[in-house]
Amino acid sequence: MKLVIVTVVDYYKKDIIKLFKQAQINNFSESDIEGFKTAPSVKLDSNWFANENSGADSEMFFSFTEDENIDALFNLIKEFNSNLKTNNPIKAIVVPIEKFI
């Protein structure tokens, strides 16, 4: 079992929920967060984080799940991100779990 954490701008919230379901990750949690980017963007019109003084409404999803579900989710996210026309891909990380109850 591992912990997968995914961050996404609000615009892609429905999309990431679909990807979780396609990866057979049916139990997950979600939290509202605010994302910031301080580096200047080459293409401001394609960037949700237009300037460093304002954040973008974002979401963080997380789930304790098995490796095969995470592999499926990562493949789906890679495919989704390859078709984006913005500078804000879905980000995901995996954290190993040493113990759980």
* CATH code (residue 64): 3.30.70.120
CB 4 within 8 A of CB 23: no
Q: Is residue 50 part of a domain?
A: yes
Neighbours of 80 (CB within 10 A): 17
Q: Is residue 73 part of a domain?
A: yes
The sign of the torsion formed by the CA atoms of 38, 39, 42, 46 equals negative
- Tens-digit pLDDT string for the chain (101 aa): 899 999 999 999 999 999 999 999 999 999 999 877 776 655 555 555 555 556 788 999 999 999 999 999 999 999 999 999 888 899 999 998 888 88
Q: Is residue 84 part of a domain?
A: yes
Q: Is residue 40 part of a domain?
A: yes
Q: Is residue 24 part of a domain?
A: yes
Residue range of the domain that includes 75: 2-96
Q: Is residue 28 part of a domain?
A: yes
Q: Is residue 101 part of a domain?
A: no
Q: Please state the domain count of the chain.
A: 1
Q: Is residue 35 part of a domain?
A: yes
